[in-house]
Structure 1
Amino acid sequence: MAFIPYARQCVDKDDIQAVVDILQSDWLTQGPAVERFEQAVAEYCGVEHAVAVNSATAALHIACLAAGLGDGDSLWTSPNTFVASANCGLYCGSKVDFVDIDPLTYNLSPKELEQKLSNGQAARDLPKVVIPVHFAGDSCDMAAIHSLARQYHFTVIEDASHAIGGRYKDKAIGCCAYSDMTVFSFHPVKIVTTGEGGMVVTNRRDLYEKLLLLRSHGVTRDESQMTMSGQGPWYYEQIDLGFNYRITDIQAALGWSQLKKIDEFVARRQTIAGHYDEGLAGMPLTFQQRRSDIYSAFHLYVIRLKSGEIKKSHRQVFEELRQAGIGVNLHYIPVHLQPYYQQRGFCAGDFPQAEQYYREAISLPMYYLLSEEDQKYVINTIRQVLA
């Protein structure tokens, strides 16, 4: 049995041809393929504006800057995420804090958020930005978070790096019905890939214009934004401090081609998840709770070990699955337990639900090309290891 990874990309002949077409064109970067990709994602999500960049980390960074996050401000996010969801606040000079997860959904808990906001209001320590993370492809309870945002006046940036193709309350994740901006990732292990890449979507024109500036050095050729006009066709101005976060036409062409198959990709992941549900039923495991108003994109399929019913440790189970040729993984080490964040004052015990989740969680192989034979092998091996 060959090694089965936890995730991998699916690139077909149409994707390859889309990239070849760009390589044979006049534009390799800053050309029409980028705008075509942005328009396709915006249309798919039912949102007004989209700005493609070279990573989801870059997308988070410029989204925070567009929201006005800076020195003396605070950003709150989930501890159960990759470090980029928190680091983007530090890039802006702000403070970063976390809101513990719901033990059933593994997403940021609206109840914990409400309590922390109430305490923060009394202490005059409220966030300027909150980043809910749609873990594994399941949307957070955005209606509840949106309601709190209106009450406490913070900007909501959805980290939907796991969730393009998913739905919440019959709306596409990314429609920004309950947020100011949404961020997507197009890393190879994600549902749609551009190699490396990311995107910010929004319904607000002011944020869109700011995002465009920040993506490319803060430079504009739009005379309506310049301090001087009529200087000549060569003229441009830097009117903000931006970055080189541009995505290439090569990457955008791949993403545009991949996006055509997104519903097929997600449907296959739903099928794989159903097979796991059925094959692992009755085992000493718990699973991410799926609300009826959420259609998961299933970037990940996570199991949690019922440690009191298993004679092996979490590490033993993980290593035995790896030794059997199954590339299980763990998403995530809680961000506040990272040495860099502990140096900033966070400690073990600060967010107990995220920490308990970390002690029990294992991510199983989940990707479009996972064969039925390989999935049966994964299921049977888990049953043997836990027997």
Structure 2
Amino acid sequence: MIPYGRQQISADDIAAVVETLQSDWLTQGPAITAFEQAMAERCGARHAVAVCNATAALHIACLALDLGAGDRLWTTPNTFVASANCARYCGAEVDFVDIDPATWNMDAERLAAKLRQAEAEGRLPRVVVPVAFSGQSCDMARIQALSRQYGFAVVEDASHAVGAEYLDRPVGCGAYADMTVFSFHPVKIITTGEGGLILTNRDDLAQRLQRLRSHGISRDPARMEASDPAAWQYEMQELGFNYRITDIQAALGLSQLRRLDTFLARRRELADRYDGLLAELPLQGPSRQAGARSAWHLYVVRLQLDRISKTHRQVFDGLRAAGIGVNLHYIPVHLQPYYRQSGFKAGDFPEAERYYGEAISLPMYAGLTDAQQDTVVAALRALLV
């Protein structure tokens, strides 16, 4: 089976992990600081806070913005459930903004229209979470302008977009979002096994994120209420969580980061190659937003069902039967049973629902060979033509 995504682990990665295992620190040690500093430098951000996974990153990003009961968070329906669940963890309400039919990202003009209506109704969001679907940024400049107009914070869920660029700047630089979240799950651009990271240029948010990831505890004497704290003293200043990443994971991440450009180059080569190989098939391929350079976590196609004799399910199942480990990103979040209980229903976000009825994620990872890609395309062609 050719998987839709997988990690690529080198001898250097293994050596970095072994070196950490043989060191004095397995957690809360220097490898974490080194990884955070390297990620912040790569993205041009002032602060990076590493955590155990991107879901935890989204959660404490919302907490750091004081999102809570009576507040609202808006995100896209075309995402993994974590982009919405982070609001529910805080007791806030969730709503969605439909997607752009070309980019499959949150539609900034639909967002603008929804904000105008929400302002009239007194129901503006406190936080908006645009998602860099498949590795390509949303129209972040427009979203940032709207945030200033309507007073909401922006947490960019860039879990797919490590190494991506937007308007000639690295995603995560902080130019268009209060915070940016990355994921290091094994199918992402680089991996720490499991892991996540939050980038921000705001000192106040960074300090609070560092505290929230570790039980709400501070060990910094300068930030304690005690006037003359002893060397052993720490203070739990708010209710936090054990969302810490380990030095073992951070060492792997730092080693992987050194090959980020190599991974990106191969993914971009594969995306260009897919574009050419699939050009004559009854498909809509992914678009490239002007000014954005995708990290190509995913390569998604939409079937033009009016031009083929098979259903979406038949094509998907046929590819799986042929040994192609395709996937579908994503089931619209508002159609999940949990969110249906909140009153969402089919038809609420029609563009995301149309997308879901046609989309298939093809294999995309740095270790995918040209021969394997040819096999994927041949299997797809056999089902469509």
TM-score normalized with structure 1 length = 0.99
Q: In the alignment, which residue of structure 1 is the partner of 2:269?
A: 271
1:321 alignment partner, SS class: helix
- 1:302 aligned counterpart, secondary structure: strand
Identity of aligned residues (%): 62
Of 233, 239, 248, which residue of structure 1 is paired with 2:237?
Answer: 239
Determine the C-alpha separation between the residues in 2 that align with 1:97 and 1:69: 14
Q: Which amino acid aligns with 1:7?
A: G
**2-structure distance, mates of 1:255, 1:51:** 13
* Per-residue deviation, residues 141-197 of structure 1 (Å, max 9, x unmatched): 000000000000000000000001110000000101011000000000000000000
Note the C-alpha offset of 1:291: 1.8
Please give the per-residue CA displacement for 1:6-42, whole angstroms capped at 9, x wherever unaligned: 0000000000000000000000000000000000000
> What are the superposed Cα offsets for residues 86-127 of structure 1, whole Å, 9 maximum, x if unpaired?
000000010000000001100000011000000000000000
Gaps of 5+ in 1: none
Query: What's 1:344 paired with?
Result: 342
Matched, 1:35 2:33: yes
Match 2:52 to one of 43, 51, 54: 54
CA positional deviation for 1:224? 2.3
The corresponding residue for 1:381 is: 379
Q: Which moved more, 1:42-51 or 1:377-386?
A: 377-386
- Write the deviation string for residues 313-347 of structure 1: whole angstroms up to 9, x where unpaired: 00000000000000000000000000000011100
Deviation at 1:301, TM superposition (A): 0.1
Which of 4, 9, 12 lines up with 2:7 in the alignment?
Answer: 9
**In the alignment, which residue of structure 1 is the partner of 2:79?**
81
2:205 corresponds in structure 1 to 207
Say if 2:223 is the partner of 1:229. Answer: no
Q: CA deviation at 1:380?
A: 1.1
Q: Quick one: which amino acid aligns to residue 280 of structure 2? A: G
Question: CA offset at residue 227 of structure 1?
Answer: 1.6
Residue correspondence of structure 1 range 1-387 to structure 2 within 5 A? 3-387=1-385
Inter-partner Cα distance in structure 1 for 2:231 and 2:171: 41
Matching residue's letter, 2:166? Y
Deviation track 1:225-278 (CA, whole Å, cap 9, x = no partner) reads 222132421111100110000000000000000001111101100000111101
Separation (CA, whole Å) in 1 of partners of 2:222 and 2:94: 36
CA distance in 2, matches of 1:207, 1:164: 21
CA shift at 1:367, angstroms? 0.4
> How much does 1:292 deviate?
2.9
Cα distance in structure 2, aligned partners of 1:229 and 1:310: 74
Q: Name stretches of at least 5 consecutive residues in structure 2 with no aligned partner.
A: none
- Counterpart Cα distance in 1 of 2:95 and 2:212: 25
- How many angstroms apart in 2 are the aligned matches of 1:88 and 1:128? 13
C-alpha distance in 2, partners of 1:226/1:375? 56
Alpha-carbon distance in structure 2 between the residues aligned to 1:293 and 1:54: 32
Where 2:324 maps in the other structure, the secondary structure is: coil
**Aligned residue type for 2:186:** P
Q: Cα RMSD (Å) of the superposition? A: 0.6
CA contact (8 A) 2:221 2:229 kept: no
What is the rounded CA distance, in whole Å, between the counterparts of 2:324 and 2:64 in structure 1? 42
CA distance in 1, matches of 2:272, 2:234: 54
For the residues of structure 2 that align with 1:46 and 1:226, how far apart are their CA atoms? 30
Letter in 2 for 1:21: E
Range moving further from structure 2, 82-91 or 219-228: 219-228
Alpha-carbon separation, structure 1, partners of 2:88 and 2:270: 38
Measure the CA separation in 2 of the matches of 1:263 and 1:181. Answer: 23
Cα distance, 1:287 vs structure 2: 1.4
Equivalent-residue separation in structure 2 for 1:86 and 1:210 (angstroms)? 21
Preserved CA contact (<8 Å) 2:16 2:251: yes
Q: Classify the secondary structure of the residue corresponding to 1:108.
A: coil
CA distance in 2, matches of 1:196, 1:175: 23
Give 2:77's aligned amino acid. Answer: P
**Which stretches of structure 1, 4 residues or more, deviate above 6 A after TM superposition?**
none
In structure 2, distance between residues paired with 1:237 and 1:296: 42
Under a length normalisation based on structure 2, what TM-score does the superposition of the two structures give?
0.99
Q: CA deviation at 1:219?
A: 0.6
Shift of 1:221: 1.4
